[in-house]
Amino acid sequence: MKKIALFLMAVTFIACNKNDDGQTPLNTLVDIRFQHSFDEQLVDNTTFNAIQYNNAFGSELSLTKLRYLITNVTFTNQDGIATKVRDYQLVDVTQNTGMFISGTSLPPGTYTLKMRFGFAEPENNSGIYPDLNAASWSVPDMLGGGYHYMQLEGRFIDAGNETSIYAYHTISAVQNPGPDNIREDTSIEIDLGTINIENTTTTIKVNMNISEWFKNPNVWNLNTLNGMLMGNYAAQILMQENGQNVFSLESVRSVQ
């Protein structure tokens, strides 16, 4: 019975994969993979915890946690027709979850690919995303509410040559934290440019260069800016500026 089921599953799969002419697939599968680096060094959760990276300031550091929110992942074809493939996705490098957006079905062609780091202002409302609530991803209302953009944490060797800790959390920048705070949208548009999708399964790799958070244009001194950054408006603006070139298109590969 199992063999029959397997055979029929195979036939079903083949039947799904071709159009009525039995020749050219109408759509192709597109996967987006998020990968991470510290400049040239690839990063994943197996490389966490060891103090092995050097930031632009010259501090040696480690990563112990990295998770961030990607929103509005959208392909737009040359006719200007947009296909949003994900409203939001929590990429959790620490837990190795949310690293893929799989199974998108698109007609072959040329597209622009855009996404956003964090929720844009109209979508960044407190408590409305149950899965993010359960993931403790919320920002308290007194700090502007809504949701975190990123939690990047680790250790570094401080100016006194001691091991110290940092928590580089990005949120919507907020002035006057408290009940009368004023929030400012500091989410970041990620424009990955033009992508050509062939008629075979395509994998798009998007890279986050973590080093950029500490480098460009603001060289980050962890000795002075290592925690309590959520309510620090000036720090959030610096982070947003440094985040402009963090993401890049690593590769587009078609699999025959």
Partner 1 sequence: MQKFTFLVCLLFLTLCCTNDDSSEGYAPTPASISIPGVFLQLLPAPEIPANNPLTEEGIALGRQLFFEKKLSANNTLACAGCHKPNEGFSDQRRYSIGIDGIAGFRNSMPIVNFAWNTKNKFNWDGSANSLEQQALEPVINEIEMHNTWPNVVETLQTDANYPIAFGEAFGTTTISKERVAKALAQFIRTLVSGDSKFDKYVLGEATLTPLEAEGLAVFLDEDRGDCFHCHGSPTNPLWTDNDFHNNGLDEDFLDLGLGDITGDPAQFGLFKSPSLRNLAFTAPYMHDGRFATLDEVINHYSEGLVFSQTIDPLMKTVAQGGVQLTVEEKAALKAFMLSLSDPTLATNPAYQNPN
* Binding stretches for partner 1 (CB under 8 A): 1, 4-5, 8-9, 11-12, 15-16, 18-20, 22, 48-49, 64-65, 95, 126-127, 130-131, 133-136, 138, 140-143, 153-155, 163-167, 177, 226-228, 230-231
Amino acid at 238: L
Q: How far is the CB of 217 from partner 1 (least distance, A)?
A: 25
Q: What angle do CA 74, 91, 34 make, to 5 degrees?
A: 65
Are 246 and 149 contacting, i.e. CB atoms less than 8 angstroms apart? no
Are 93 and 45 contacting, i.e. CB atoms less than 8 angstroms apart? yes
Q: How far is the CB of 78 from partner 1 (least distance, A)?
A: 29
**Is the preceding omega at residue 108 within 30 degrees of 0, hence cis?**
no
Nearer to partner 1, 47 or 248 (CB): 47
Nearer to partner 1, 10 or 82 (CB): 10
* Helix (H/G/I), strand (E/B), else coil: 130: helix
Nearer to partner 1, 9 or 82 (CB): 9
Q: How far is the CB of 102 from partner 1 (least distance, A)?
A: 20
Nearer to partner 1, 28 or 207 (CB): 28
Nearer to partner 1, 231 or 243 (CB): 231
- The CA distance from 218 to 206, in Å, is 23
Residue 121's Cβ-count burial label (10 Å; 0-12, 13-18, 19+) is middle
Q: How far is the CB of 211 from partner 1 (least distance, A)?
A: 18
- The CA distance from 248 to 208, in Å, is 7
DSSP β-bridge partners for residue 155? 165
Q: How far is the CB of 168 from partner 1 (least distance, A)?
A: 9
